[in-house]
Amino acid sequence: MREQDYAVNNSSQVQQLEVSRVLRNTYGLLALTLAFSGVMAYVAQQMHVGRPNIFIVLIGFYGLFFLTNKLRDSAWGLVSAFALTGFMGYILGPVLNVYLGMRGGAEVVSSAFAMTALVFGGLSAYVLISRKDMSFLSGFITAGFFVLLGATVAGMFFQISGLQLAISAGFVLFSSVCILFQTSAIIHGGERNYIMATISLYVSIYNLFLSLLQIFGIMGRDD
């Protein structure tokens, strides 16, 4: 019996060490990729790069995402992760220039940035402290994805008053739920690859920031 208890305790300790390692590596890499993304956004701003075609954005993002997933267990996965986040930062530069060119644009950007940091920090801290299993949110994420996809497509063809604001608010909620789910997955063993954990959190933070930027921008124009 003692040997069995020792084996259970030892297994639990190994699991906790693995979780700590993945969390440490994930947040370390996340900080580096966010910083690199910010640098690339600044470069694009200073170069006054025009907004890229939507097909270029989609091909670039999904191509680099699937490449990172394929290389996730090698050092090249890190290179691909930086390529992906750098690309996303680069295409963010022209978007920031649009908002900075608005009246009160600097306040809009800074407010979106501060709110993104607050939301991400608060949600992450909640999961890390409470240790709650958020796997039950998977159904909501799947349904939310298709709802937002349908609303986005509808927004391309129909000029419905308030639809863009509703879509942005939906993405804020969707990204927040994804952060809860992804952080929980690391803690409870659903994700053991820190590169993919980093990319998942990065995409949620990126979408959260863009959505808040759109909401504050719309509210600023209404003023």
Give the tens place of pLDDT for each residue, 156-198: 777 776 788 888 899 999 999 999 999 999 898 778 899 999 9
Q: pTM score, two decimals?
A: 0.89
Closest alpha carbon to 98 in 85, 111, 108, 87 = 108
Confidence (pLDDT) at 33: 97
- pLDDT of residue 29 exceeding 60, the answer is yes
Asked if residues 144 and 177 have their Cβ atoms less than 8 Å apart, the reply is: yes
Buried b (16+ CB within 10 A) or exposed e, 1-10: eeeeeeeeee
Question: pLDDT per residue over 78-111, tens digit each?
Answer: 999 999 999 999 999 999 999 988 888 899 999 9
**In angstroms, how far is CA 42 from the centroid of its own chain?**
19
Give the residue with greater pLDDT, 105 vs 26: 26
Most confident of 83-87, 142-146, 185-189, 214-218: 83-87
Confidence of residue 9 (pLDDT cuts 50, 70, 90): low
The interaxial angle of helices 194-222 and 163-187, nearest 10 deg, is 160
The Cα-based distances of 75 to 26, 71, 125, 198 in angstroms read 15, 8, 29, 14
Asked if residues 29 and 195 have their Cβ atoms less than 8 Å apart, the reply is: yes
Mean pLDDT, all residues of the chain: 88
Radius of gyration (C-alpha) of the chain in whole angstroms? 19
> CA 69 to CA 32: how far, in whole Å?
19
Query: Minimum mean pLDDT among 6-10, 72-76, 93-97: which range?
Result: 6-10
Largest CA distance in the chain: 72
Structure tokens that stand for 213 in this block: 């930027």
Asked if residues 210 and 177 have their Cβ atoms less than 8 Å apart, the reply is: no
Confidence (pLDDT) at 7: 46
